[in-house]
A and B are shown apart, each in its own frame.
Chain A
Amino acid sequence: MLYREAGQFKTSYVADQAIFPIRQDRIGLAVILIAAFVGVPLFGSDFFISAVMVPLLVFSLAAIGLNILTGYTGLLSLGTGGFMGVGAFACYKLTTVFPDVNIIIWVLVSGFFSCGIGILFGLPSLRIKGFYLAVATLSAQFFLDWAFVRIPWLVNNNTSGAIEVPTRTLLGIPVTGPTAQPEVRYLVILSVVTLLTVIASNLVHGRIGRSWMAVRDMDLAAELMGIRLYRTKLLAFAVSSYYCGVAGALMVFFWYGSAEPAVFGIDQSFFILFMVIIGGLGSLVGSFFGAALIYGMPIILKGVVAMVGLQITPATVEHLTFMTVGALIILFLIIEPAGLARLWQIGKQKLRVWPFPY
């Protein structure tokens, strides 16, 4: 009843082609943004901000990055963790070599390093397709994994072999390091994620996004229509790894505080891929849903177990969590193979015609 576009007339093509053509959608988005920027820092507890919201945003950004590659361009990649690592290590090197430059600039710049690596490992993508390409990107993952451990120069030859985030300030307020408040870190991440999501949205709705989707649907046909395959695929690799790199830098600098190379392992790649597939391939909002579901599911499951108050050991809880997550993944795929984004679409459509569905 409330969610209906009746009476909202468009008088220009621009208005008609808007990403959110319905006024209620725009209001809803504004409410979400205000809640995220004002409500959460004001009313959220420290635990909620640093253990729920911050990881959620970081994973969403990485999922958007992978979604550009896998969902929009149809190139299956298992190297996400490695690309995130490149971003994190690049950011660490940059900020220790040039400590006076603002950390946020370095976070955004570090993405370009991972972008370069991404292009390098994207080069085989013209000849290799499908699952063969997925396994080829695994070589990026394993090579980068190895490089993070074996090249001590990346962590300035420190003995622990891990990134230890130094304290950096913005307008006199510490934003990274042990003294930074969770609210501050959250707001920085939120701003970066919002900015990059807007850019991604503009990319995928424009000419570039359309050429990506044409390549996804059938690359030969796209080539015959005049899309330069190599450029398009490499651009997808570049943009995708940029997003993953920034997500990796944010993860280490604003969430973990210190990180060993192991966090950029193959598990991280799979984790992000789950988010993209469960959230919905080729959907930006799906990336957020997927991140929330995959990251939130184990937390919620543990909460449920604690609430029920069963007398079982933590190890058993762990096993049951694994089993349930596995079963739920299969269940979600059976219910809606197109992901949570499609469920969201269906829900909105139902809401528009409610209460008279015909």
Chain B
Amino acid sequence: MDILYKVFIDPFMQMGGAPDLLVQTLWEGLVAGMLYALIALGFVLIFKASGVFNFAQGIMVVFAALTLVGIYDLLRQWGVPSGWLAAYLALALSLVVMFGLAFAVERVMLRPLVNQPDIILFMATFGLTYFLIGFGEFVFGGNPKRMIAGELNLPSGAVEFKMAGGFVSMQKIDIAAVLIVSVMVGALSFFFQRTRIGRALRAVADSHKAALSVGISLNQIWVIVWFAAGVVALTTGIMWGARSEVSFSLQIIALKALPVLILGGFTSIPGAIVGGLIIGVGEKIGEFYWGPLLGSGIESWLAYVIALLFLLYRPQGLFGEKIIERI
């Protein structure tokens, strides 16, 4: 009976007893979820348009952030005064680098491997991951770096709200992150739904062959998609970097994005967002209220179990396209 009480009643008593803690936990879950969703978004973009399960998205985040910081340092060495000018110049140059990466990936990796089974392309992105880890460390060094958040005019500090006899504190950078993510998702949706290229992207996602037959260049589309994923990676890198620091341990969070992906479905942008929020909130709430029962640290696998339970009811994820099988 005691264990039943601890599992089913006690956590809710705690929630009711200290609503400010509950709100704080929910907020932290929400922010973490937003950032998971950002990585998942990069996966979804590429999976939708080319059917490639891009394992390298996590390392692309690190690589993008490192590039930004590295270029900023370089610019300062060349005499550009440090501050917002150098920061935004570095941002623009990082975008160019990400475009170069997208172009190279399409040319070197995707084009020769066209029409191969999914698992081979998946494996190729592993190769890309290793390459980028080695390349990134070779060029920028393996030490953690400070993200140039202040120079990019991102706010810092915290806001506190009074609530039910306690305080809820929100980091300003988190609020900014939520805003930026919302704007970006809106922009991406607009891009996909309303523009000519967006329509071409959706056509490619539906069927490579049919898209080719109406004159859409697959290669061009792939470069665009990988570049879009690179932009998402850069944004993710800035946000995560501003919260902690830029280091290769960031790529671990990419693994956190996988349950978000299967929860939301591999092919759905809203799915990535909703999945991210469910996982982020579920993980934090679970860790905070139920974690002590199991000796804490359950954050590492709870997300996967949540996703697995959802999958048992909907094998294609919450928003994924219905899987139709034919003989």
Contact = CB atoms under 8 A, between A and B. Distances in A.
Interface of A: 70, 76, 124, 127-132, 135-136, 138-139, 142-143, 145-146, 149-150, 218, 220-221, 224, 266, 270, 273-274, 277-278, 281, 315-316, 318-330, 333-334, 337
Contact of A270 (B126, B304, B316): B126
Interface of B: 53, 108-109, 112-113, 116-120, 122-124, 126-135, 137-138, 142, 255, 258-259, 261-262, 266, 294-295, 297-298, 300-301, 304-305, 307-308, 311-312, 315-317, 323, 325, 327
Given A327-B127, A329-B124, A322 B297 contact: no
A139 B142 contact: no
Given A76-B119, A224-B327, A138 B316 contact: no
B127 A337 contact: no
Contacts of B315: 127-129, 132
B134 A320 contact: yes
Contacts of B108: 330
A150 B299 CA distance: 13
A320 B130 contact: no
Main secondary structure of the interface of A (DSSP, over half): helix
A31 to B, nearest CB: 33
A136 B300 contact: no
Given A334-B112, A337-B116, A131 B122 contact: yes
B112 A326 contact: no
B124 A323 contact: no
Contacts of A330: 108-109, 124, 127-128, 131
Nearest 8 interchain pairs by C-beta: A322-B134, A326-B131, A326-B130, A139-B304, A323-B134, A329-B127, A142-B301, A330-B127
Contact of A277 (B53, B120, B255): B120
A181 to B, nearest CB: 36
Given A323-B135, A334-B112, A281 B119 contact: yes
Contacts of B266: 131-132
Given A277-B119, A326-B134, A330-B108, A142 B311 contact: no
B312 A124 contact: yes
Contacts of B109: 330, 334
B281 to A, nearest CB: 18
Nearest to A218: B327
A124 B308 contact: yes
Contacts of A316: 138
A184 B45 CA distance: 53
Contact of B297 (A146, A266, A326): A146
Contacts of B305: 139, 143
B48 to A, nearest CB: 13
Instruction: Indicate the member of B130, B305, B316, B327 with the most A CB atoms within 10 Å.
Output: B130
Contacts of A70: 119
A333 B311 CA distance: 31
Contacts of B117: 337
A316 B137 CA distance: 8
A199 B274 CA distance: 47
B153 to A, nearest CB: 33
Given A128-B315, A130-B118, A277-B119, A142 B300 contact: yes
Contact of A337 (B120, B130, B134, B295): B120
Contacts of B122: 131
Contacts of B116: 333, 337
